[in-house]
Amino acid sequence: MLNYVTSYLDKNVQVTPGQAGNLFWALVYILCVFGGVSLVVVCMNWLERKILAHMQVRIGPMRVGPHGLLQPIADALKLILKEDIIPEGADTVVFWFAPLIILLAVFSVYCVIPFGPTHAITDMNIGLLFMLGVSSLGVLGIVMAGWASNSHYPLIGALRSSAQMVSYEVAMGLAVVSAVLMTSLNAQGTGTLSMIGIVQAQQSQHVWFAFKFFPLGLIAFVVFAIAMVAETNRAPFDLPEAESELTAGFHTEYSGLRWSLFMLGEYAGMIAVSSIATTLWLGGWMRPFPNLLRAPAWDMAFSLFPALTFFGLAGLTFYGAARMAKTSFFRLQAMGLAGFGGVLGLIGLILLLPPVRTGIQDIYWFVAKIAGFLYLFIWYRATFPRYRFDQLMKVGWKVLLPVGLGVLILTAAAGVVAG
């Protein structure tokens, strides 16, 4: 048994636990990913409110904990304790299963997301296909939620949502195919659908696919980046849950814990599509300029980034604590904030240790790129009005689809010329 567990830790094993067939480590990875994603969703909750608030000349949550840091916890507690309402006339079974299906679809995607060359639950030779297929199952959950609620607003929301997701998947698929096409530009001329293989292809071609065949790769990336916002039903494509029209869209009738599952699904979905975009176009786990700046000194410099990030965050928290009003009420808050900063600083210190430093590199750069996308999601929400349904369809079918198709053809042509 112990051998079985330690066998994966052997230096010669250079594959993911899923490929190595080591169920124990696969389970550990699953728990890590599930816990990590849930934690990021909780952080996102706080960050979205704060960033949105600061963009809108507000200060956001300030009451629960210093600078509202405990707000997500308070919210979660409230949602769990809330009365669980199933509307009269609702289809109870379907009503129950809808949020679970969305969660299942979203979290299955994380099976193949490579946080590093070996930091994935598993690697499949059809990884990308699996990912797109499973993530589009989410629409089933939305339709089920809309139908089972037995109410007009959720029904319209669900119809909008399904039409929207199906339309934008086409454009998304075309953009993805042109990235896959780029992986085949090697001596053997064989492409790959494996997520790890795609990143390795970018490594061996010495370029992120976003900058390959400039500007073709960039256009495909932009098409994907737009389609993925629509795919996750976020502003400016948030029609399925357009607050001012459909109150809350497909989850109007949901409350409490089940509603929070929808929210968890939405945010986890945002992270999932961001990680697809990162893997396909932004070099996945690779640090910036691994080929240009390849001297050991550069390696050393880049490996300090994770620790520096945490030190920066800790510095911000200490600054916030120092700025707090010097009254007895705020003394506790300031102490709490300083304590939080201390924890962040401690994490930074741990990340400075050489073995941790090298081990965390891949994950850090992958997560940093995703964080950039997540910031964009919030920024969009603060900036854009909402599209109307017919305009949304027009953008999907008449703009993104032809552009995606054109880029695909041109990429193929460029590949023939280059190869």
Partner 1 sequence: MNDPNSAVSPLDLEAKESTFLDANELILNMGPQHPATHGVLRVILKLDGEKVLGLECIIGYLHRGVEKIAENRTYAMFNPYVDRMDYVAAVSNGLGYCEAVEKLLNVEAPPRANYIRVILAELNRIASHQLWLGTHALDIGAMTPLFYTFRDREEILKIFEKYCGARLTTHAFRIGGCQYETYDGFEQDVRKFLDFVGPKIDEYEELLTTNRIWVRRTRDVGVISGKDCIALGVTGPVLRASGVKWDLRKAQPYATYKDFDFEIPTGTNGDTYDRYLVRMAEMRQSIRIIRQAVDGIPSGPIMAKVPKVIKPPVGEIYHSIEAPKGELGYFIASDGSTQPYRVRVRPPSFVNLQALDLMCKDQLVADVIAVIGTLDIVLGEVDR
What residues line the site for partner 1 (CB under 8 A)? 52, 55-58, 152-153, 156, 160, 235-236, 238-239, 242-245, 247, 381-391
Smallest distance, partner 1 to C-beta of residue 245, A? 5
Of 335 and 399, the one with the shorter C-beta distance to partner 1 is 399
Number of residues that this document lists for the chain: 419
Smallest distance, partner 1 to C-beta of residue 84, A? 22
Smallest distance, partner 1 to C-beta of residue 53, A? 9
Which residue from 295, 306, 310 is spatially nearest to 366, judged by alpha carbons?
306
Q: Record the tokens describing residue 394, joined without a space.
A: 């027009």
Distance CA 139, CA 207 (A): 34
Smallest distance, partner 1 to C-beta of residue 394, A? 9
What is the dihedral sign for C-alpha 42, 109, 203, 377? negative
Of 66 and 146, the one with the shorter C-beta distance to partner 1 is 146
Of 117 and 157, the one with the shorter C-beta distance to partner 1 is 157
Of 20 and 62, the one with the shorter C-beta distance to partner 1 is 62
Smallest distance, partner 1 to C-beta of residue 48, A? 12
Of 160 and 287, the one with the shorter C-beta distance to partner 1 is 160
Distance CA 290, CA 41 (A): 30
Contact of 60 with 50, CB cutoff 8 Å: yes
Of 48 and 362, the one with the shorter C-beta distance to partner 1 is 48
Q: How many CA atoms lie within 13 A of 347 on its CB side?
A: 16
Smallest distance, partner 1 to C-beta of residue 68, A? 17
Q: Give per-residue burial for 234-249: e unless 16+ CB within 10 Å, then b.
A: bbbbbbbbbeeebebb
Of 16 and 252, the one with the shorter C-beta distance to partner 1 is 252
Q: Is 46 exposed, middle or buried (0-12, 13-18, 19+ CB in 10 A)?
A: buried
Contact of 223 with 209, CB cutoff 8 Å: no
Smallest distance, partner 1 to C-beta of residue 400, A? 15
Distance CA 132, CA 143 (A): 18
Contact of 179 with 281, CB cutoff 8 Å: yes
Contact of 113 with 268, CB cutoff 8 Å: no
